[in-house]
Amino acid sequence: MSDGPPPAPVLRLRGITKRFGSLTANDGISLELASGEVLALLGENGAGKSTLVSILFGHYVADEGTIEVHGRPLPPGQPKAALAAGIGMVHQHFTLADNLSVLDNVMLGTEPLLSPWSRRAAARARLADAAARFGLAVHADAPVGTLSMGERQRVEILKALVRGARILILDEPTAVLTPQESEALFATLAQMVRQGLAIIFISHKLDEVLRVAQRIAVLRAGRLVAVRPAAGADKAQLAEAMVGRRVAPAVKRAHARGPVVAELPGTPLVLHAGEIVAVAGVAGNGQQALAEALCGERVAPGGALRLAGAALPPAPREWVRAGVARIPEDRQHVGAVGDFTLVENLLLERYAEPRFARAGWQRRRAAREAAHALLERYDVRSGGGAATPARMLSGGNLQKLILGRALGLGAARLIVANQPTWGLDVGAVAFVHQQLLDAAAAGSAVLLISEDLDEVFALADRITVIHQGRLTPLAPTSEWTLAAIGLAMAGSGHRRDGAAHAA
């Protein structure tokens, strides 16, 4: 081994600061990245991760600071310059054209619109070379719309590699993958590192971070608060660095399962009081249609949900009155009205109840008192009290507000929680998990729809997997393995029954 100085970093950020009005999103951040290194970037929602990589990729211009790539200054605010310098980015939500082939997607944006000829043969050769070097097998002529999520991610990575990326930013790369696809991605990352690529790995899954990264950088409130080797670090330390305090894990209390509370005809879904049933699956396999059928927003093919043996009418208000509580996937546009105050949002589904209204007039004092109690109980931090518009809340605080509305204003017989912790930081995740566990222990039936298998295994008493709108038979969590659930998510195994939930 050489005793000489370490190689110069391929990427150097010095004093990066970015302000949006009075908000400082990045505050004097300095980082380095070496060739053949995976640097994990962690932080709560709003910690500044997205702003930092947006500056790096040229989407934002820093107010202060400089960026060097291979020792040369990177012109600010120019995505084309970032690409030319060898920086590539794979977003969590893929940017592919489903109606075009793999090759066409890789070539998009690489040729002038008015070019008299296409360099398809050369592009095909570059694609084949990159696929072979990094173990990213794809069929160049396959329509992207026919590919699995894992295959689409390969195409996104190949787009960056074919364009010469030597520094790759991966944003939540396993969020839509099966366990088997995640394992294939990790093998690809190892191959990239061996060939000298430098990788910034953004993820909220701490097990993955500790597995793939050599170093870990933690942002909190816009500042870089820790940079440490992955070797020797543990999840508790990283979680504490992210949120600035110890994060207590959710605790599952032993309790008896009660009678059947709800069932959806034509499907395996039968839910008992005191249990959490999880629906696992890759995004886009019918989860949204299922959630809508369980909240009265659409009629399922097999018939309406039966609650305590009685079919509920196709009117969401009646479902709320019957004790069905919903936590929707889209908290910003479906779960809340951004310009309404916190009080108004908390009462959206309850405003006509006698305790909050009399003779058509709102009982404002009762509403405010109930709202203040819920905001305190669910630790909703707004900065401006109950009169704050909901759009001013962070993602985690908005989700706590929705939890308070769903769980705090009356005993819920059935709770439909659709992706309840999507995009939340580790502290908010632990809080949401504890609320759902406590609700089940108190006698509610909980239907959890989640793409996060760590969440599914941590919370669920029984699990079913959804694939192309069909559900596998329910089985106790103890009877599922990670491999089996991954195969079911991909459409292999456990395909005996279950009806389509999409209308």
Residue 485 burial class via C-beta count within 10 angstroms: exposed 0-12, middle 13-18, buried 19 and up: buried
Question: Are 363 and 426 part of one and the same domain?
Answer: no
Query: Looking at residue 3, what is its pLDDT?
Result: 52
Rounded distance, CA 345 to CA 401, Å? 8
pLDDT tens digit sequence for 408-420: 877 789 999 998 8
- The model's confidence at residue 1, banded by pLDDT at 50, 70 and 90, is very low
Q: Could you tell me if residue 328 is inside a domain?
A: no
Whether residue 352 is predicted with pLDDT greater than 80 in this model: the reply is: no
pLDDT tens digit sequence for 378-406: 888 776 777 888 888 877 788 888 888 88
User: CB–CB of 380/292 below 8 Å?
Assistant: no
Question: Are 228 and 313 part of one and the same domain?
Answer: no
Q: Could you tell me if residue 24 is inside a domain?
A: yes
Whether residue 495 is predicted with pLDDT greater than 60 in this model: the reply is: no
Rounded distance, CA 214 to CA 28, Å? 23
Question: Are 208 and 305 part of one and the same domain?
Answer: no
Q: Which of 405, 409, 425 is nearest to 417 (CA)?
A: 405
Comparing 112-116, 241-245, 302-306, 480-484, the range with the smallest average pLDDT is: 112-116
- The model's confidence at residue 502, banded by pLDDT at 50, 70 and 90, is very low
Rounded distance, CA 158 to CA 128, Å? 10
Q: Could you tell me if residue 333 is inside a domain?
A: no
Query: Looking at residue 319, what is its pLDDT?
Result: 86
Of the chain, the percentage scoring pLDDT greater than 70 comes to 94
Query: Looking at residue 448, what is its pLDDT?
Result: 97
Rounded distance, CA 133 to CA 135, Å? 6
Of the chain, the percentage scoring pLDDT greater than 90 comes to 44
Give the residue from 404, 419, 449 where a domain finishes.
404
Question: Are 140 and 262 part of one and the same domain?
Answer: no
Residue 356 burial class via C-beta count within 10 angstroms: exposed 0-12, middle 13-18, buried 19 and up: middle
| 3-state class (DSSP) for residue 180 | helix
Rounded distance, CA 189 to CA 185, Å? 6
Question: Are 139 and 238 part of one and the same domain?
Answer: yes
- The model's confidence at residue 7, banded by pLDDT at 50, 70 and 90, is low
Token digits of residue 434: 């504890």
- Cα 270 vs. chain centroid, distance in angstroms? 27
Give the residue from 243, 261, 282 where a domain finishes.
243
Q: Could you tell me if residue 155 is inside a domain?
A: yes
Tell me which residue range forms the domain holding 117: 11-243
Q: Which residue has the higher pLDDT, 200 or 149?
A: 200
Q: Cα angle vertex 72, ends 69, 78, to 5°?
A: 70
Token digits of residue 310: 């009685």
Question: Are 44 and 111 part of one and the same domain?
Answer: yes
Whether residue 494 is predicted with pLDDT greater than 70 in this model: the reply is: no
Query: Looking at residue 118, what is its pLDDT?
Result: 65
Q: Could you tell me if residue 378 is inside a domain?
A: yes
User: CB–CB of 447/417 below 8 Å?
Assistant: yes
- The model's confidence at residue 501, banded by pLDDT at 50, 70 and 90, is very low
Whether residue 259 is predicted with pLDDT greater than 90 in this model: the reply is: yes
CATH of residue 120: 3.40.50.300
Cβ count within 10 A of residue 95: 11
Q: Which residue has the higher pLDDT, 492 or 239?
A: 239
Q: Which of 135, 133, 134, 147 is nearest to 105 (CA)?
A: 147
- The model's confidence at residue 497, banded by pLDDT at 50, 70 and 90, is very low
Question: Mean pLDDT over residues 49-60, rounded?
Answer: 92
Question: Are 253 and 238 part of one and the same domain?
Answer: no
Question: Are 384 and 446 part of one and the same domain?
Answer: no
Give the long-range contacts of residues 45-50, CB within 8 A, separation 24 or more: 45/394, 45/395, 45/396, 45/423, 45/424, 45/425, 45/428, 46/221, 46/394, 46/395, 47/219, 47/220, 47/221, 47/222, 47/242, 47/425, 48/18, 48/219, 48/221, 48/222, 48/223, 49/202, 49/219
Question: Are 357 and 428 part of one and the same domain?
Answer: no
User: CB–CB of 90/169 below 8 Å?
Assistant: yes
Query: Looking at residue 383, what is its pLDDT?
Result: 67
Question: Are 292 and 391 part of one and the same domain?
Answer: no
Phi-psi region of 70 (alpha: psi -120 to 50; beta: other; left: phi over 0): left
**Residue 386 gets which letter from DSSP?**
G
Q: Could you tell me if residue 331 is inside a domain?
A: no
Question: Mean pLDDT over residues 453-458, rounded?
Answer: 92
- The model's confidence at residue 440, banded by pLDDT at 50, 70 and 90, is very high
Task: Please count the structural domains in the chain.
Answer: 3
* Helix or strand run (H / E) with residue 211: helix 206-212
Whether residue 503 is predicted with pLDDT greater than 60 in this model: the reply is: no
Q: Could you tell me if residue 109 is inside a domain?
A: yes
Whether residue 496 is predicted with pLDDT greater than 50 in this model: the reply is: no
Comparing 58-62, 114-118, 213-217, the range with the smallest average pLDDT is: 114-118
Q: Could you tell me if residue 330 is inside a domain?
A: no
Whether residue 274 is predicted with pLDDT greater than 70 in this model: the reply is: yes
Pairing mode, strands 87-90 and 167-171: parallel
Query: Looking at residue 417, what is its pLDDT?
Result: 94
Question: Mean pLDDT over residues 232-237, rounded?
Answer: 92
Give the residue from 384, 404, 424 where a domain finishes.
404
Question: Are 300 and 432 part of one and the same domain?
Answer: yes
Query: Looking at residue 33, what is its pLDDT?
Result: 96
Whether residue 2 is predicted with pLDDT greater than 50 in this model: the reply is: no
Dihedrals phi, psi of 12, to nearest 5 degrees: -135, 120
Interhelix angle 179-194/149-162, rounded to 10 degrees, is: 20
Question: Are 41 and 68 part of one and the same domain?
Answer: yes
